[in-house]
Structure 1
Amino acid sequence: MSAQSGLNRRGFLTRISAAGGALLLGGCDQLSQSPTFRDILGKAEGATQRVQRFVLSHRSMAREFSESELSKHFKANGSINVEDASYQTMVRDGFANWRLKIDGLVERPTSLSLDELRRLPSRTQITRHDCVEGWSAIGKWKGAQLGPLLQSVGLKPNARYLVFHCADMMSPGAPYYESIDLIDAFHPQTILAYDMNEQTLPVPYGAPLRLRVERQLGYKMAKYVMRIEAVASFSAIGGGNGGFWEDRGYEWYAGI
Protein backbone atom coordinates (compact mmCIF):
# COMPACT_ATOMS: atom_id res chain seq x y z
CA MET A 1 0.00 0.00 0.00
CA SER A 2 1.34 3.46 -0.87
CA ALA A 3 2.54 5.57 2.01
CA GLN A 4 0.25 8.26 0.61
CA SER A 5 -2.89 6.18 1.04
CA GLY A 6 -5.52 7.71 3.28
CA LEU A 7 -6.11 4.24 4.66
CA ASN A 8 -2.50 3.69 5.62
CA ARG A 9 -2.79 2.32 9.15
CA ARG A 10 0.32 3.97 10.54
CA GLY A 11 -0.62 7.34 9.04
CA PHE A 12 -4.10 7.04 10.50
CA LEU A 13 -2.71 6.46 13.97
CA THR A 14 -0.21 9.28 13.54
CA ARG A 15 -3.12 11.65 12.95
CA ILE A 16 -4.83 10.28 16.05
CA SER A 17 -1.59 10.93 17.94
CA ALA A 18 -1.39 14.50 16.70
CA ALA A 19 -4.94 15.14 17.84
CA GLY A 20 -4.51 13.50 21.24
CA GLY A 21 -0.82 13.25 22.01
CA ALA A 22 -1.21 13.44 25.76
CA LEU A 23 -3.56 10.46 25.70
CA LEU A 24 -1.20 8.42 23.54
CA LEU A 25 1.73 9.19 25.78
CA GLY A 26 -0.31 7.83 28.64
CA GLY A 27 -0.10 4.41 27.00
CA CYS A 28 -2.37 1.86 25.42
CA ASP A 29 -4.56 1.31 28.49
CA GLN A 30 -5.72 4.92 28.63
CA LEU A 31 -6.52 4.88 24.93
CA SER A 32 -8.65 1.80 25.33
CA GLN A 33 -10.89 3.63 27.80
CA SER A 34 -11.85 6.34 25.29
CA PRO A 35 -15.26 5.61 23.66
CA THR A 36 -14.43 8.03 20.82
CA PHE A 37 -11.15 6.28 20.07
CA ARG A 38 -12.81 2.85 20.14
CA ASP A 39 -15.51 4.07 17.76
CA ILE A 40 -12.96 5.52 15.32
CA LEU A 41 -10.94 2.30 15.29
CA GLY A 42 -14.04 0.18 14.78
CA LYS A 43 -15.20 2.20 11.78
CA ALA A 44 -11.74 2.22 10.20
CA GLU A 45 -10.97 -1.45 10.63
CA GLY A 46 -13.16 -2.94 7.94
CA ALA A 47 -12.02 -0.51 5.25
CA THR A 48 -8.36 -0.84 6.19
CA GLN A 49 -8.41 -4.62 6.06
CA ARG A 50 -10.38 -4.85 2.81
CA VAL A 51 -8.22 -2.32 0.97
CA GLN A 52 -4.89 -3.70 2.17
CA ARG A 53 -5.82 -7.29 1.43
CA PHE A 54 -7.10 -6.25 -2.02
CA VAL A 55 -4.09 -4.12 -2.97
CA LEU A 56 -1.39 -6.34 -1.47
CA SER A 57 -0.66 -9.87 -2.53
CA HIS A 58 -0.88 -12.36 0.30
CA ARG A 59 2.85 -12.90 -0.23
CA SER A 60 3.91 -9.24 -0.42
CA MET A 61 6.80 -8.55 1.92
CA ALA A 62 7.25 -5.93 4.59
CA ARG A 63 10.27 -3.73 3.93
CA GLU A 64 13.56 -5.09 5.23
CA PHE A 65 16.54 -2.96 6.21
CA SER A 66 20.32 -3.16 6.35
CA GLU A 67 22.53 -3.76 9.38
CA SER A 68 23.57 -0.11 9.31
CA GLU A 69 19.94 0.94 9.84
CA LEU A 70 19.42 -0.94 13.09
CA SER A 71 18.05 1.32 15.82
CA LYS A 72 20.45 2.18 18.62
CA HIS A 73 17.56 1.95 21.07
CA PHE A 74 14.57 -0.36 20.72
CA LYS A 75 11.95 0.39 23.37
CA ALA A 76 10.75 -2.61 25.40
CA ASN A 77 7.18 -1.50 25.93
CA GLY A 78 4.17 -3.29 27.35
CA SER A 79 5.10 -6.11 29.72
CA ILE A 80 8.84 -6.20 30.34
CA ASN A 81 8.79 -9.14 32.74
CA VAL A 82 6.51 -11.90 34.00
CA GLU A 83 6.00 -12.15 37.75
CA ASP A 84 4.70 -15.73 37.68
CA ALA A 85 6.92 -17.95 39.83
CA SER A 86 7.06 -20.78 37.28
CA TYR A 87 8.19 -18.34 34.57
CA GLN A 88 10.90 -16.93 36.84
CA THR A 89 12.12 -20.48 37.46
CA MET A 90 12.35 -21.03 33.71
CA VAL A 91 14.36 -17.81 33.35
CA ARG A 92 16.86 -18.99 35.97
CA ASP A 93 17.13 -22.34 34.16
CA GLY A 94 17.71 -20.71 30.80
CA PHE A 95 14.30 -21.98 29.63
CA ALA A 96 15.69 -25.53 29.52
CA ASN A 97 12.32 -26.94 30.61
CA TRP A 98 10.13 -24.49 28.68
CA ARG A 99 7.94 -25.98 25.95
CA LEU A 100 5.69 -24.44 23.33
CA LYS A 101 2.33 -26.20 23.21
CA ILE A 102 0.52 -26.39 19.85
CA ASP A 103 -3.04 -27.68 19.96
CA GLY A 104 -6.64 -26.95 19.06
CA LEU A 105 -7.73 -27.77 15.52
CA VAL A 106 -4.57 -29.63 14.53
CA GLU A 107 -4.09 -33.23 13.50
CA ARG A 108 -0.98 -33.78 15.59
CA PRO A 109 -0.97 -31.73 18.84
CA THR A 110 2.57 -31.33 20.06
CA SER A 111 4.95 -29.43 22.29
CA LEU A 112 8.43 -28.26 21.39
CA SER A 113 11.45 -27.25 23.41
CA LEU A 114 13.44 -24.15 22.53
CA ASP A 115 16.22 -26.34 21.13
CA GLU A 116 13.70 -28.15 18.92
CA LEU A 117 12.35 -24.84 17.64
CA ARG A 118 15.88 -23.73 16.81
CA ARG A 119 16.27 -26.77 14.57
CA LEU A 120 13.19 -25.94 12.49
CA PRO A 121 13.27 -23.93 9.23
CA SER A 122 14.15 -20.39 10.26
CA ARG A 123 14.33 -16.89 8.87
CA THR A 124 16.41 -13.85 9.79
CA GLN A 125 15.00 -10.41 8.96
CA ILE A 126 15.66 -6.77 9.78
CA THR A 127 12.32 -5.00 10.00
CA ARG A 128 10.66 -1.93 11.48
CA HIS A 129 8.43 -2.27 14.51
CA ASP A 130 5.63 0.34 14.45
CA CYS A 131 3.89 0.95 17.77
CA VAL A 132 0.37 2.28 18.22
CA GLU A 133 1.89 4.84 20.61
CA GLY A 134 3.54 6.53 17.64
CA TRP A 135 7.18 5.35 17.77
CA SER A 136 9.12 3.00 15.49
CA ALA A 137 12.36 1.05 15.78
CA ILE A 138 14.33 -1.28 13.51
CA GLY A 139 15.50 -4.61 14.86
CA LYS A 140 17.00 -7.86 13.63
CA TRP A 141 15.00 -10.99 14.35
CA LYS A 142 15.63 -14.69 13.88
CA GLY A 143 13.08 -17.39 14.50
CA ALA A 144 11.20 -20.42 13.31
CA GLN A 145 8.94 -19.77 10.34
CA LEU A 146 5.37 -20.34 11.43
CA GLY A 147 4.12 -21.75 8.12
CA PRO A 148 6.30 -24.88 8.01
CA LEU A 149 5.58 -25.51 11.69
CA LEU A 150 1.84 -25.45 11.01
CA GLN A 151 2.30 -27.82 8.09
CA SER A 152 4.12 -30.24 10.36
CA VAL A 153 1.24 -30.42 12.86
CA GLY A 154 -1.48 -30.43 10.19
CA LEU A 155 -4.28 -27.90 10.44
CA LYS A 156 -7.79 -29.31 10.40
CA PRO A 157 -10.11 -28.03 7.61
CA ASN A 158 -12.15 -25.85 9.98
CA ALA A 159 -9.13 -24.01 11.43
CA ARG A 160 -9.33 -20.30 10.58
CA TYR A 161 -7.22 -18.49 13.18
CA LEU A 162 -4.26 -18.98 15.48
CA VAL A 163 -4.50 -17.77 19.06
CA PHE A 164 -1.25 -17.04 20.92
CA HIS A 165 -1.55 -17.56 24.66
CA CYS A 166 1.13 -15.76 26.66
CA ALA A 167 2.70 -15.95 30.11
CA ASP A 168 2.27 -12.29 31.05
CA MET A 169 -0.73 -11.08 33.03
CA MET A 170 -1.66 -7.55 32.03
CA SER A 171 -4.07 -7.33 34.95
CA PRO A 172 -5.42 -9.88 37.48
CA GLY A 173 -7.25 -12.61 35.61
CA ALA A 174 -6.35 -11.16 32.20
CA PRO A 175 -3.47 -13.02 30.51
CA TYR A 176 -2.19 -11.50 27.30
CA TYR A 177 -3.31 -13.18 24.12
CA GLU A 178 -3.38 -12.36 20.41
CA SER A 179 -4.62 -13.91 17.19
CA ILE A 180 -3.95 -13.82 13.47
CA ASP A 181 -5.59 -15.45 10.48
CA LEU A 182 -4.00 -18.08 8.28
CA ILE A 183 -3.06 -15.56 5.58
CA ASP A 184 -0.63 -13.92 7.99
CA ALA A 185 0.29 -17.21 9.66
CA PHE A 186 1.68 -18.62 6.40
CA HIS A 187 3.39 -15.40 5.32
CA PRO A 188 7.15 -16.04 4.99
CA GLN A 189 8.03 -13.15 7.32
CA THR A 190 5.81 -14.43 10.13
CA ILE A 191 8.18 -16.04 12.59
CA LEU A 192 8.42 -17.18 16.19
CA ALA A 193 11.46 -15.14 17.18
CA TYR A 194 13.98 -16.51 19.67
CA ASP A 195 16.87 -14.15 18.79
CA MET A 196 17.00 -10.37 18.65
CA ASN A 197 19.94 -8.44 17.22
CA GLU A 198 22.00 -11.65 17.10
CA GLN A 199 21.49 -12.39 20.79
CA THR A 200 19.14 -14.73 22.61
CA LEU A 201 15.83 -12.89 22.97
CA PRO A 202 16.00 -10.90 26.23
CA VAL A 203 13.22 -11.13 28.81
CA PRO A 204 11.96 -7.53 28.33
CA TYR A 205 11.38 -8.32 24.65
CA GLY A 206 9.41 -11.51 25.26
CA ALA A 207 11.79 -14.40 26.04
CA PRO A 208 11.90 -17.14 25.18
CA LEU A 209 9.61 -16.64 22.19
CA ARG A 210 7.63 -13.85 20.58
CA LEU A 211 5.54 -13.57 17.46
CA ARG A 212 6.72 -11.36 14.61
CA VAL A 213 3.99 -10.62 12.09
CA GLU A 214 5.71 -7.86 10.18
CA ARG A 215 2.80 -6.39 8.25
CA GLN A 216 0.89 -5.39 11.38
CA LEU A 217 1.35 -3.02 14.31
CA GLY A 218 3.38 -3.88 17.36
CA TYR A 219 0.56 -4.90 19.68
CA LYS A 220 -0.01 -7.94 17.44
CA MET A 221 3.54 -9.14 18.21
CA ALA A 222 2.67 -11.30 21.22
CA LYS A 223 5.51 -11.77 23.73
CA TYR A 224 6.18 -14.64 26.17
CA VAL A 225 4.32 -17.10 23.90
CA MET A 226 3.48 -20.34 25.70
CA ARG A 227 0.80 -21.92 23.54
CA ILE A 228 -0.56 -21.68 19.99
CA GLU A 229 -4.16 -22.77 19.58
CA ALA A 230 -5.76 -23.28 16.15
CA VAL A 231 -9.43 -22.30 16.25
CA ALA A 232 -12.42 -21.82 13.97
CA SER A 233 -13.44 -18.70 15.90
CA PHE A 234 -12.05 -16.67 18.79
CA SER A 235 -15.48 -15.47 19.95
CA ALA A 236 -15.35 -17.59 23.14
CA ILE A 237 -11.75 -16.66 24.06
CA GLY A 238 -11.10 -13.74 26.38
CA GLY A 239 -13.54 -10.97 25.53
CA GLY A 240 -14.24 -12.51 22.14
CA ASN A 241 -12.47 -9.90 20.01
CA GLY A 242 -9.26 -11.75 19.22
CA GLY A 243 -6.77 -10.18 21.60
CA PHE A 244 -6.12 -8.46 24.92
CA TRP A 245 -6.10 -4.95 23.45
CA GLU A 246 -8.85 -5.77 20.98
CA ASP A 247 -11.06 -6.60 23.97
CA ARG A 248 -10.36 -3.03 25.09
CA GLY A 249 -11.30 -1.32 21.85
CA TYR A 250 -8.36 -1.81 19.48
CA GLU A 251 -9.02 -3.20 16.05
CA TRP A 252 -8.27 -6.84 15.37
CA TYR A 253 -6.63 -6.23 11.99
CA ALA A 254 -3.75 -3.80 12.53
CA GLY A 255 -2.18 -3.79 9.06
CA ILE A 256 0.38 -1.17 8.03
Structure 2
Amino acid sequence: MLRRAQYLSRDTQALLTGRNAMAQEFTEDDIADEFRSNGTAMPDSHLYRQLLAGGFRRWQLGVGGLVAAPAEFSLADLHAMPSRTQITRHDCVEGWSVIGKWTGVPLSHVLARVQPLPMARYVVFHCADPMDGSDLQAPGSTYYESIDLTEARHPQTILAYALNDEPLPVKNGAPLRLRVERQLGYKHAKYLMRIELVERLDTIRGGNGGYWEDLGYEWYAGI
Protein backbone atom coordinates (compact mmCIF):
# COMPACT_ATOMS: atom_id res chain seq x y z
CA MET A 1 0.00 0.00 0.00
CA LEU A 2 2.80 2.42 0.91
CA ARG A 3 4.73 1.43 -2.21
CA ARG A 4 1.74 2.24 -4.40
CA ALA A 5 1.48 5.68 -2.78
CA GLN A 6 4.64 6.84 -4.59
CA TYR A 7 2.82 6.56 -7.92
CA LEU A 8 -0.05 8.63 -6.53
CA SER A 9 2.59 11.21 -5.53
CA ARG A 10 4.07 11.16 -9.03
CA ASP A 11 0.69 11.55 -10.74
CA THR A 12 -0.39 14.31 -8.36
CA GLN A 13 2.83 16.22 -8.92
CA ALA A 14 2.40 15.91 -12.69
CA LEU A 15 -1.20 17.13 -12.40
CA LEU A 16 -0.28 20.17 -10.30
CA THR A 17 2.93 21.25 -12.04
CA GLY A 18 2.67 19.65 -15.48
CA ARG A 19 4.79 16.83 -16.86
CA ASN A 20 7.21 19.29 -18.43
CA ALA A 21 7.80 21.40 -15.30
CA MET A 22 11.44 22.39 -14.93
CA ALA A 23 13.64 22.01 -11.89
CA GLN A 24 15.05 25.30 -10.59
CA GLU A 25 18.23 26.47 -12.29
CA PHE A 26 20.80 28.78 -10.72
CA THR A 27 23.54 31.24 -11.70
CA GLU A 28 27.31 30.90 -11.95
CA ASP A 29 27.61 32.69 -8.60
CA ASP A 30 25.67 29.87 -6.93
CA ILE A 31 28.04 27.08 -7.97
CA ALA A 32 29.71 25.36 -5.01
CA ASP A 33 33.51 25.43 -4.74
CA GLU A 34 33.47 21.63 -4.42
CA PHE A 35 30.83 19.23 -5.70
CA ARG A 36 31.09 16.53 -3.08
CA SER A 37 31.20 12.87 -4.00
CA ASN A 38 28.73 10.49 -2.46
CA GLY A 39 28.81 6.71 -2.45
CA THR A 40 31.54 5.22 -4.60
CA ALA A 41 34.43 7.54 -5.52
CA MET A 42 36.33 4.91 -7.55
CA PRO A 43 34.63 1.73 -8.80
CA ASP A 44 36.40 -1.42 -7.60
CA SER A 45 36.32 -2.89 -11.09
CA HIS A 46 39.25 -4.14 -13.18
CA LEU A 47 37.45 -3.26 -16.41
CA TYR A 48 36.66 0.25 -15.22
CA ARG A 49 40.27 0.86 -14.18
CA GLN A 50 41.45 -0.32 -17.59
CA LEU A 51 39.08 2.10 -19.32
CA LEU A 52 40.18 4.91 -17.01
CA ALA A 53 43.87 4.20 -17.68
CA GLY A 54 43.15 4.57 -21.39
CA GLY A 55 41.40 7.90 -20.92
CA PHE A 56 38.07 6.19 -21.68
CA ARG A 57 39.01 6.08 -25.37
CA ARG A 58 37.78 2.45 -25.56
CA TRP A 59 34.68 3.08 -23.46
CA GLN A 60 31.35 2.86 -25.25
CA LEU A 61 27.80 3.30 -24.04
CA GLY A 62 25.61 0.48 -25.30
CA VAL A 63 21.93 1.32 -25.81
CA GLY A 64 19.57 -1.55 -26.52
CA GLY A 65 16.57 -3.52 -25.35
CA LEU A 66 13.22 -2.52 -26.84
CA VAL A 67 14.62 -0.31 -29.59
CA ALA A 68 14.59 -0.53 -33.38
CA ALA A 69 18.23 0.45 -33.82
CA PRO A 70 20.54 -0.70 -30.99
CA ALA A 71 23.77 1.28 -30.95
CA GLU A 72 27.01 1.97 -29.14
CA PHE A 73 28.27 5.50 -28.58
CA SER A 74 31.81 6.61 -27.74
CA LEU A 75 32.48 9.77 -25.77
CA ALA A 76 33.34 11.47 -29.05
CA ASP A 77 29.96 10.42 -30.45
CA LEU A 78 28.17 11.91 -27.45
CA HIS A 79 30.18 15.13 -27.64
CA ALA A 80 29.14 15.47 -31.29
CA MET A 81 25.43 15.46 -30.39
CA PRO A 82 23.52 18.60 -29.34
CA SER A 83 24.45 19.48 -25.76
CA ARG A 84 22.75 21.16 -22.83
CA THR A 85 24.32 23.00 -19.90
CA GLN A 86 22.38 23.51 -16.68
CA ILE A 87 23.22 24.77 -13.19
CA THR A 88 21.12 22.77 -10.76
CA ARG A 89 20.96 21.66 -7.15
CA HIS A 90 21.69 18.06 -6.26
CA ASP A 91 19.50 17.00 -3.33
CA CYS A 92 20.64 13.89 -1.49
CA VAL A 93 18.28 11.65 0.44
CA GLU A 94 20.76 12.01 3.34
CA GLY A 95 19.73 15.66 3.70
CA TRP A 96 22.53 17.65 2.03
CA SER A 97 22.49 19.67 -1.20
CA VAL A 98 25.08 21.14 -3.55
CA ILE A 99 24.87 23.21 -6.74
CA GLY A 100 26.88 22.34 -9.82
CA LYS A 101 27.08 23.11 -13.54
CA TRP A 102 26.48 20.11 -15.76
CA THR A 103 27.01 19.69 -19.50
CA GLY A 104 25.93 16.67 -21.51
CA VAL A 105 23.69 15.31 -24.20
CA PRO A 106 19.94 15.29 -23.53
CA LEU A 107 18.87 11.67 -23.16
CA SER A 108 16.04 12.41 -25.60
CA HIS A 109 18.62 12.79 -28.42
CA VAL A 110 20.11 9.38 -27.69
CA LEU A 111 16.67 7.79 -27.55
CA ALA A 112 15.78 9.35 -30.88
CA ARG A 113 18.83 7.69 -32.41
CA VAL A 114 17.87 4.19 -31.21
CA GLN A 115 14.11 4.55 -31.82
CA PRO A 116 12.22 3.09 -28.83
CA LEU A 117 9.62 0.48 -29.72
CA PRO A 118 5.96 1.12 -28.79
CA MET A 119 6.04 -1.32 -25.85
CA ALA A 120 9.04 0.38 -24.19
CA ARG A 121 8.02 2.10 -20.94
CA TYR A 122 11.19 2.39 -18.84
CA VAL A 123 14.85 3.24 -19.29
CA VAL A 124 17.28 1.19 -17.17
CA PHE A 125 20.83 2.40 -16.50
CA HIS A 126 23.53 -0.21 -15.84
CA CYS A 127 26.73 1.03 -14.17
CA ALA A 128 30.35 0.01 -13.62
CA ASP A 129 30.04 0.33 -9.86
CA PRO A 130 30.17 -3.02 -8.03
CA MET A 131 28.16 -2.55 -4.85
CA ASP A 132 28.73 -5.91 -3.17
CA GLY A 133 32.40 -6.61 -3.74
CA SER A 134 31.92 -8.27 -7.14
CA ASP A 135 33.14 -7.13 -10.53
CA LEU A 136 31.19 -6.57 -13.76
CA GLN A 137 31.18 -10.32 -14.36
CA ALA A 138 28.50 -10.48 -11.64
CA PRO A 139 26.01 -7.93 -13.05
CA GLY A 140 23.53 -8.59 -10.27
CA SER A 141 25.81 -6.71 -7.86
CA THR A 142 26.43 -3.53 -9.85
CA TYR A 143 24.56 -0.29 -9.39
CA TYR A 144 21.52 0.22 -11.57
CA GLU A 145 18.65 2.68 -11.80
CA SER A 146 15.59 3.37 -13.92
CA ILE A 147 13.18 6.12 -14.91
CA ASP A 148 10.09 6.17 -17.09
CA LEU A 149 10.09 7.50 -20.64
CA THR A 150 8.39 10.75 -19.63
CA GLU A 151 11.28 11.58 -17.29
CA ALA A 152 13.80 10.29 -19.84
CA ARG A 153 12.54 12.72 -22.47
CA HIS A 154 12.45 15.73 -20.14
CA PRO A 155 14.82 18.47 -21.38
CA GLN A 156 16.77 18.54 -18.09
CA THR A 157 17.43 14.79 -18.14
CA ILE A 158 20.92 14.60 -19.58
CA LEU A 159 23.86 12.22 -19.85
CA ALA A 160 26.52 14.46 -18.33
CA TYR A 161 30.17 14.30 -19.36
CA ALA A 162 31.31 17.59 -17.78
CA LEU A 163 31.01 19.22 -14.37
CA ASN A 164 31.78 22.92 -13.86
CA ASP A 165 33.27 23.20 -17.36
CA GLU A 166 35.75 20.36 -16.78
CA PRO A 167 35.61 16.69 -17.82
CA LEU A 168 33.55 14.75 -15.30
CA PRO A 169 35.81 13.68 -12.39
CA VAL A 170 36.01 10.02 -11.45
CA LYS A 171 34.56 10.68 -8.00
CA ASN A 172 31.49 12.22 -9.65
CA GLY A 173 30.88 9.42 -12.15
CA ALA A 174 33.30 9.62 -15.10
CA PRO A 175 33.04 9.19 -17.96
CA LEU A 176 29.26 9.62 -17.99
CA ARG A 177 26.48 9.95 -15.46
CA LEU A 178 22.77 10.52 -15.50
CA ARG A 179 21.32 13.84 -14.38
CA VAL A 180 17.59 13.62 -13.72
CA GLU A 181 17.10 16.96 -12.02
CA ARG A 182 13.55 16.49 -10.80
CA GLN A 183 14.47 13.55 -8.57
CA LEU A 184 16.71 12.84 -5.58
CA GLY A 185 20.40 12.07 -5.90
CA TYR A 186 20.32 8.28 -5.78
CA LYS A 187 18.49 8.32 -9.14
CA HIS A 188 21.48 10.07 -10.79
CA ALA A 189 23.37 6.92 -11.74
CA LYS A 190 27.17 7.29 -12.09
CA TYR A 191 29.73 5.34 -14.18
CA LEU A 192 27.25 4.51 -16.96
CA MET A 193 28.06 1.49 -19.10
CA ARG A 194 24.80 0.43 -20.70
CA ILE A 195 21.23 1.65 -21.19
CA GLU A 196 18.35 -0.75 -21.70
CA LEU A 197 14.76 0.04 -22.66
CA VAL A 198 12.20 -2.34 -21.16
CA GLU A 199 8.46 -2.81 -20.81
CA ARG A 200 8.50 -3.71 -17.10
CA LEU A 201 10.81 -3.56 -14.12
CA ASP A 202 9.61 -6.47 -12.00
CA THR A 203 11.70 -9.00 -13.93
CA ILE A 204 14.99 -7.10 -13.46
CA ARG A 205 17.15 -7.90 -10.44
CA GLY A 206 15.07 -7.36 -7.28
CA GLY A 207 12.12 -6.12 -9.32
CA ASN A 208 11.90 -2.60 -7.88
CA GLY A 209 13.75 -0.62 -10.53
CA GLY A 210 17.05 0.21 -8.83
CA TYR A 211 19.79 -0.91 -6.47
CA TRP A 212 18.54 1.12 -3.51
CA GLU A 213 14.94 0.50 -4.43
CA ASP A 214 15.58 -3.23 -4.07
CA LEU A 215 16.73 -2.41 -0.53
CA GLY A 216 13.59 -0.44 0.34
CA TYR A 217 13.96 3.03 -1.20
CA GLU A 218 11.12 4.45 -3.28
CA TRP A 219 11.36 4.15 -7.05
CA TYR A 220 9.82 7.57 -7.65
CA ALA A 221 12.04 10.08 -5.85
CA GLY A 222 10.46 13.31 -7.05
CA ILE A 223 11.48 16.60 -5.46
**TM-score of the aligned structures, taking structure 2 as reference length:** 0.94
SS in 1 for 2:131: strand
* 1:95-127 deviations in Å (ceiling 9; x for gaps): 000000000000000001001000011100000
SS in 2 for 1:124: strand
Select the residue among 63, 68, 82 that pairs with 2:43: 82
Select the residue among 79, 88, 95 that pairs with 1:134: 95
Whole-Å separation in 2 of the counterparts to 1:65 and 1:183: 24
Q: Which residue of 1 aligns with 2:67?
A: 106
Query: What RMSD in Å do the two structures reach over aligned CA positions?
Result: 1.3
The one-letter amino acid paired with 1:60 is: A
Q: Which residue of 1 aligns with 2:199?
A: 232
Shift of 1:50: 2.2
Shift of 1:251: 0.4
- Structure 1 residue ranges, 4+ long, deviating more than 6 angstroms after superposition: none
Q: Which residue of 2 aligns with 1:212?
A: 179
| 1:191 to 2:152 alignment | no
Shift of 1:46: 3.2
**TM-score of the aligned structures, taking structure 1 as reference length:** 0.82
SS in 2 for 1:179: strand
Whole-Å separation in 2 of the counterparts to 1:213 and 1:189: 7
Select the residue among 34, 54, 58 that pairs with 1:97: 58
Number of equivalenced pairs: 217
Give structure 2 stretches of 5+ with no counterpart.
Answer: 134-139
| 1:148 to 2:115 alignment | no
Higher helix share: 1
Whole-Å separation in 2 of the counterparts to 1:255 and 1:241: 16
Shift of 1:47: 3.4
Which stretch of structure 1 is more off in the superposition, 133-142 or 67-76?
67-76
Q: Which residue of 2 aligns with 1:51?
A: 12
Identity level (%): 54
Shift of 1:234: 1.3
The one-letter amino acid paired with 1:84 is: S
Structure 1 or 2, whichever has the larger Rg, is 1
Whole-Å separation in 2 of the counterparts to 1:83 and 1:129: 24
Shift of 1:213: 0.4
